[in-house]
Structure 1
Amino acid sequence: MLPLLSGAGTTFSEEDIFPGAMGGEESAPRPREASVPDGDGGIVHVSFLSFQLSSEEERADYCALFEDIGERKALQNLLARRTVLQTRMAAISSGFVVSGDFRGTLERALLDMLSISKARLAVLFVMSYTGALVPELEVLSPDASPSSSPRAPIFSEGEDFFWKSLLKKDRLPTLLVVDSTVEGMSYGGREFLRRRNISSVAILPLLLKGSLQGFLALADPDMHWAYDADEPVLSVLSSLLAIALERRNEEESLRMSHKLIHDRFSGAVSALCQVSELRDMSTAGHQKNVSALAESLAGEMGLSDEIRMAVRYAGLVHDLGKLYIPAEILGKPHSLSDAEYMLVKKHPEYGHDILSPLGFPWPLADIVLQHHERMNGTGYPFGLTGESICLEARILSVADAFDAMTSDRPYRKRKSAAEALGELAELAGSFYDRDIAMTFIGMIEKRERP
């Protein structure tokens, strides 16, 4: 008994086995756990129960029952490690669901995977449109050979032959572990890893509806991690990463489609603007000025990019309907007759008729139609009042009035900026939306300050 109690690794004393003999207080026996040497330099986890059998004046007999609980302890430790891994992987997975920053979320996910697996390097490969496996992101463990200088990527495009040779299987496992030191790997495969100073790699294929989206490679991970990680958890992580990649690809494709559509519509609007300004040289540059002012005003008001784009492009074509007005009326150097003025007042409707069939992603036709309406109902063509006039048209009307007042016309000289702002302030609330007009006045005054 004494060698057992005094051996290296023992975590209990003789008093634990013979409490009464050592002068301790006797109490009801209860099981305890301890570690004892196994005689081969290892440790055995045991549970023991010690109790007194008999007691005489000079002698006391004790019995200690020992049970090997090593397997139970190993399972408990495995469960604890898996619980930690499941919690960490759930956090990684949820990041892709709730975050809009794909790149930042991805980098944090790879750092977490490095911490979990004790790997030296994490690399995410994605399947490109051409069918090539391309490294999307490499993250080096903070504990692996830190360096202040930029590091060249370990993997590069055009070297997917090694990965494809591993992944060409009818049924891919949830986790594929490749050890370059084990017999069976081709010489080319060993050389591919050896040149990158990698001994082993754990590969997590990212599958979505049976289609390979890419994979996560972990270089030189702790081999116990593959066993601890638990296949169902890895499977869920694989699916969520694959879904995140697909969503990113769809969003990128949608963004490119939107850009293409935007560029095409922008070109069409610019062409219409140039055509309309060639028709009335006396107001050349007016639509571009109004467009810039209206977009700045929308930004000053903190409005969305969508509204900013709408007033920008509406400004470029707000006088498009003047294409239907005879040039001699538009360039007349003195006051118009009633009949001529009534014709000029039709230009918002003509502009609306030109723009309506074109299907722009912004309500340009309606904005152009309403840009001469006034808050008190004295505008045209319909005499709309208040908020029945769309917000974009209320913005455009202020920018249009200011640029018109501060520009020369055949029938009058321009006003100064201060005079034009004074008139806007005077008409705020009756002709123009008060809040919009005052915001515009403040914006211009800030620009005018030395």
Structure 2
Amino acid sequence: MTSREAEEVPMRKFPDSRGHPVSRRSALGLAGVAAAGLALSGCGDDPVPQPITAPPPDGVLGANFNGDPGRVTFAELENISATWLRGFFPMPQADRGAVPEHPVIRMLTTAAAKGYGTVLSLKFPYAGEPLPTPGSPAMTTALRRLDAVLPEVLGKVDILVIGNEPFIECRPQDRVQRLNVCYETLAQHVIAYRQRNCGADCTTQLYLGALNRLDRPDWRTPATERWLDFTRDTPALSGVDIHPHLQAPGDDRRFLDYVLPRLRTDQKFLATEFSLVLLWKQHLKDPVDPRFADRYRVSRSKKVWQVVRDAIESPFPQQKWDDFLALSPWFDNHREFLRDQVDRFRETSRLAVATYGVTQDTAMVTGFGPDSMPWLFNSVFCPFVVRAGQDGLPGRTTAWAGQFRQLQTR
């Protein structure tokens, strides 16, 4: 253990995510002990588990499953001492049956009932059609979907994010005034609904989200300025979400230096997705490190993406996956990214919750090739490329799992 890993966290009292006083360390300790009673199933099938106590949204690191909770188990969350969980809900799904039974909603409300802190992002996918305008039939549909979802989550999830990645999930020609008008209309509807139905003391905080690629000047536009102006000037909003998927460590500063001065001093930020995936992508076509090639008797001309594809086709033993990453300088030189990044977020004193990818999903490995976006390197658990361990849990990226646990008590 390094000196950084051994640092002690000062004991100070917080309310938990639902307002009850508990120390941060006690809350996290309770999570690790009490969650031992949780079953290996995903949601709803656990035999009378003991509750955990989530710390408040103040510098927290949680687990993110995006839109696919099917491979996340409470046993995995307990293994890495997670106490917060995040996912997103695609709003068109509100038309397809009972909202409470949708896997994303059910996973988060089940987690909330167990004592986890929860973040739900509402995803409005309009990449193939115009964004709705106020008064249009499309906006009527969007608001009707909100009215189907909001009663199932307000007062149950801790944080509701209006939007997932709005500037990506729309047509390029809509990333100007049309986008702002659309999301301001959606946000005002959510705010009014919460006030009318959940009351002034509603426990669900509202954020607007999420902003992407702010490390690039061409993504800092009049629309992003207006986005942050609206967030700052709307008292009911607690802050904004950002998704710093980076090409290099430290590029998050461009996000934070742009966003934080534009918020009220009482507002915070979320980082419900963050990673070095753009750096990983730069190295997919590199030859595998010769040390790995020689140790595992593969051709030195084999490329990184081909090794990954081999692992997808026949999952590696844990040691082989560990060696593949440790003997790849492009990964090993940044193996402390998770800890360093969360530390930088926390140093601002403005982080509410950051969430990191807890497990791989099918989309990450389907058709994997030299030009794929290698999200699978980000995941803590790696069920598609690493064999399950003797404990019955999926294989993992060891560096991320260890740092995730350490960050719960730092």
TM-score by length of structure 2 reads 0.23
Instruction: Flag the structure with larger Rg.
Output: 1
Of Structure 1 and Structure 2, the greater helix share is in 1
Taking structure 1 as the reference length, what is the TM-score of the superposition? 0.21
